[in-house]
Amino acid sequence: MLRSSLRSVRAVGNAPIASAVSRQWQPAITSFVRVAGRRFYADEKRIDDSKLPKSETTTSVASELPSLKTESQVASKDVPLTPPEPEAIASSAATGAKLPTPPPTPVKKKKGFFRRLRNLVLTLMILGTVTFGGGVAYSRISDNFHDFFTEYVPFGEQAVLYFEELDLKKRYPRSLSGSSSRPKDTGAEVKIAPQSGASWRVADSGERTSSAVGKSSSKKETKSKGESKPVSEAPAKPAEKIIESAPTKQTTSVGSYKAPEVDEPSRFPPASPIDPLTVKDAEDPVVQDLVKMLNDIITVVNADNADDRFSSTIGKAKNELNKIGSKIRALKTQAEEEAASQVASRVNEFDSAANELVSRVEKALIAQESAWREEFEAEIKRLHETYNSRIQTEMEREKLVHEQKLTNKLLEQAVQLKRQFQSEIKNSVEAERQGRLGRLDQLSGAIKELEQLTTGWNDVVDMNLKTQQLHVAVEAVRASLEDTEHPRPFVRELVALRSIASDDDVVNAAIASINPTAYQRGISNPSQLIDRFRRVASEVRKASLLPEDAGVASHASSWVLSKVMFKKQGLAAGDDVESILTRTQTYLEEGDLDSAAREMNGLQGWAKTLSKDWLGEVRKVLEVQQALDVSCTLSI
């Protein structure tokens, strides 16, 4: 409210004095205010706001104008307000939901409902027709749409078909009439067809043609009669009437024009079509043309109303025409008779000619037949001869082949006989020879046996030699092993042994079992082994008392304590290091390297590691000894 008042004030003028002045100049201000209200109409409804100053004004001085204005305004406001109340009551009584509907709107609706409905229906119809027409038009253009439209839109197919037919009619306007005329023609053709057609007979064809001609002519006659009948019959009666009742009728019909003379001309127009009296002459086209011409002339005359002038001439012309028609008919009949006689003579001629032809043809056929028969016989003869000759040649060949086969067989038999003879001779000679040479064979067998014996002895001697050599070689090896004070390689001796016993697998295996280092460096003899054992034993003793995981202290203590330990003698029993050592020593002293090595192998821990090298040495020696023993046993 405040804002509106301010605005109104502003509209009048920004000066505050305006408010003070407004009371004094009520009507002027109100007019101003109204102007202001109009100005702000677009913004919001300021008319109501602007009323307040008016109401104020009513209280003050000028009562007439403002009061009128307020009344009018109130009335404008109240008129819409008053109707809703009774309606609302009624509506609330009936249905409570229709309360919010404002009063002016129903009035408008009631007014516009039918109009809207009508508009809607109209628009729908227009739209529908437009779309239908568009669919029809478009279906004429595109085939796809045509299918769709005719299938799914009601009456679409009919409409499209109708338009298409229209189009067709536009394009081919004569096609319909032509189509109607065609079936008649085809029917006529069908009638003729069974009688027509080419045949091999000469006489029948002539008959057929004549009959066809006759029929066609008769048809033509009927047709022409049919055409001419309506023309001829109709005029025939009037023509008689012309002569008989011309005066009576002329008086009745042309009485309006002229009484005495005008009878004839009035009669002639109906008489003009009577002219084609030439009922029989209609056959001839010339006569028809003439009749037509005359008719035309008569119609012209009738049209000119100059009947009386030309009636006589026309009557003459008619008579002439009739005469001409009768003449032509006579001529025609004459011509027909002549033609018939000619045709008959021609037929006779043709018959005779045909008979001649047939006889000639038959003669020719007979001649041909005889000629062919002769040819056939000659051919058969020729074939017979050729076959005979062929058979003869075949026979000769067969004979030749047979003879050759026979000679071959003979030759084979001769060869076989020869062979038999030879074998018999051989057998006899052999028997003779064996009888004498049997003894020689025995002698040679004896000699062979002797040879075998000698060779066996040679083998034995060889074996002996070999064994001797082997033995010598083995002995050499052994000597080389034992003689020397210090280890020496004995590769050369072993190579000799191997070359001697190259074919002996056992010796080879024995030699292969020796460690290569043994014969490359040589092996130590027992005295050396014992010497080394002493050194090893002292070291082992030092480490004999070591615990499992020994440090410096335990090593030192074991070294110290080993000095104090008692020494055993002989084959001492027990598993401790000291007893093992003493046993090994005794075995060594006895020369039993094998058991000594076994004893030493039983050591554990540090003692074993310390004696590892000595054990390896002993093993090498043992291997060599074993190999030598094996080869020695073989050689013996």
Partner 1 sequence: MSDTTSVPRPSSAVSRPVSEALLNEKWDRCLSNMLIKSTLGLGFGVVFSVLLFKRRAWPAFVGVGFGAGRAYEECNWSLKQASRDLKRTPA
| Residue ranges that bind partner 1, judged by CB under 8 A | 485-487, 521, 535-536, 539-540, 542-543, 546, 548-553, 555, 605-606, 608-614
Q: Closest approach of Cβ 579 to partner 1, in Å?
A: 19
Q: Closest approach of Cβ 476 to partner 1, in Å?
A: 23
266 and 250 Cβ atoms separated by less than 8 Å: yes
Q: Closest approach of Cβ 535 to partner 1, in Å?
A: 6
Amino acid residing at 117: L
Tokens of 306: 């100059």
Residue number with CB closer to partner 1 (268 or 490) = 490
Q: How far apart are the first and last CA of the chain?
A: 153
The CA-atom distances, in angstroms, between 183 and each of 83, 180, 217, 223 are 82, 6, 22, 17
Residue number with CB closer to partner 1 (231 or 523) = 523
Residue number with CB closer to partner 1 (308 or 617) = 617
Q: Closest approach of Cβ 575 to partner 1, in Å?
A: 17
Dihedral class, residue 155 (left if φ above 0, else alpha if ψ from -120 to 50, else beta)? left
Local structure of 549: helix, strand or coil: coil
Residue number with CB closer to partner 1 (83 or 605) = 605
Tokens of 467: 């064994």
Residue number with CB closer to partner 1 (206 or 605) = 605
Q: At what angle do helices 47-59 and 26-39 cross, to 10 degrees?
A: 170
Q: Closest approach of Cβ 571 to partner 1, in Å?
A: 24
Residue number with CB closer to partner 1 (332 or 555) = 555
Residue number with CB closer to partner 1 (431 or 552) = 552
The CA-atom distances, in angstroms, between 628 and each of 7, 501, 615, 631 are 145, 13, 20, 5
Residue number with CB closer to partner 1 (295 or 554) = 554
Q: Closest approach of Cβ 533 to partner 1, in Å?
A: 10
Residue that is written with structure tokens 């011309």 in the block: 246
Q: Closest approach of Cβ 543 to partner 1, in Å?
A: 6
Q: Closest approach of Cβ 496 to partner 1, in Å?
A: 25
Question: What's the DSSP call for residue 257?
Answer: T
Residue number with CB closer to partner 1 (577 or 610) = 610
Cβ neighbourhood burial of 8 (10 Å; 0-12, 13-18, 19+):
buried
The CA-atom distances, in angstroms, between 353 and each of 205, 339, 340 are 15, 20, 19
Residue number with CB closer to partner 1 (4 or 544) = 544
**What does the alpha-carbon distance between residue 553 and residue 549 come to, in Å, rounded to a whole number?**
11
Q: Closest approach of Cβ 608 to partner 1, in Å?
A: 7
**What does the alpha-carbon distance between residue 544 and residue 605 come to, in Å, rounded to a whole number?**
9
Q: Closest approach of Cβ 603 to partner 1, in Å?
A: 11
Residue number with CB closer to partner 1 (9 or 536) = 536
Local structure of 353: helix, strand or coil: helix
**What does the alpha-carbon distance between residue 49 and residue 11 come to, in Å, rounded to a whole number?**
13
Tokens of 481: 């092993």
Local structure of 573: helix, strand or coil: coil
Question: What's the DSSP call for residue 100?
Answer: S
Q: Closest approach of Cβ 592 to partner 1, in Å?
A: 22
Q: Which of 209, 197, 192, 196 is nearest to 343 (CA)?
A: 209
308 and 263 Cβ atoms separated by less than 8 Å: no
Q: Closest approach of Cβ 453 to partner 1, in Å?
A: 56
53 and 31 Cβ atoms separated by less than 8 Å: no
Residue number with CB closer to partner 1 (438 or 616) = 616
The DSSP secondary structure of 403-446, one letter per residue, reads HHHHHHHHHHHHHHHHHHHHHHHHHHHHHHHHHHHHHHHHHHHH
Q: Closest approach of Cβ 601 to partner 1, in Å?
A: 11
Residues 6 or more apart from 572 whose CB is under 8 A from it? 578, 579, 582, 583
Residue number with CB closer to partner 1 (271 or 536) = 536
Tokens of 560: 């110290």
The two most distant CA atoms of the chain are separated, in Å, by 209
Residue 147: how many other CB atoms lie within 10 Å: 11
Residue number with CB closer to partner 1 (261 or 613) = 613
Q: Closest approach of Cβ 607 to partner 1, in Å?
A: 10
Q: Which of 574, 565, 573 is nearest to 537 (CA)?
A: 565
